[in-house]
Amino acid sequence: MAVDLNMNVLIVDDYKTMLRIIRNLLKQLGFNNVDEATDGSAALQKLRDKEYGLVISDWNMEPMTGIQLLREVRADAKLKNMPFIMITAESKTENVIAAKEAGVNNYIVKPFNAATLKTKLVTVLGNF
């Protein structure tokens, strides 16, 4: 099934510059409906208020971290199948394992490039 480029994508990061970079890279790839949140709790609220097709989240945020957001999403009956990609500077093996155990679909380490983002999106969503 083709990827719907009109899907709503939620990007979550406490650095506004990073939100801007991810948004611009997604736009280059054809995703135009991108919303932003600066921590897990704000993101969770948006996910419950509107239908999204993908979450791309940072890990290290306050008050709710990316891994907490991921656990909340997986524990929510309506959101549990949401594709979820972590983009973070947390590159330790234990972080990746914890994210995988929490149900992350893919994991990108910062700093990242556009090609990596596209590859991960294709892996999670399919070709577009």
- CB 21, min distance to another protein, A: 5
* Tokens describing residue 37: 């949140």
* Tokens describing residue 24: 């611009």
Residue from 6, 32, 48, 114 touching another protein (CB under 8 A): that is 114
* Tokens describing residue 91: 């590159």
Contact between 16 and another protein (CB under 8 A)? yes
- CB 4, min distance to another protein, A: 23
**Stretch of residues binding another protein (CB under 8 A), selected from 14-22, 34-42, 48-56, 94-102:** 14-22
Check: CB of residue 73 under 8 Å from CB of residue 37.
no
Contact between 110 and another protein (CB under 8 A)? yes
Rounded to whole angstroms, what are the CA distances from 31 to 36, 79, 88, 94, 123? 13, 21, 21, 31, 16
Residues in contact with another protein by the rule CB under 8 A:
13, 15-18, 20-21, 24-25, 28, 60, 89, 110-114
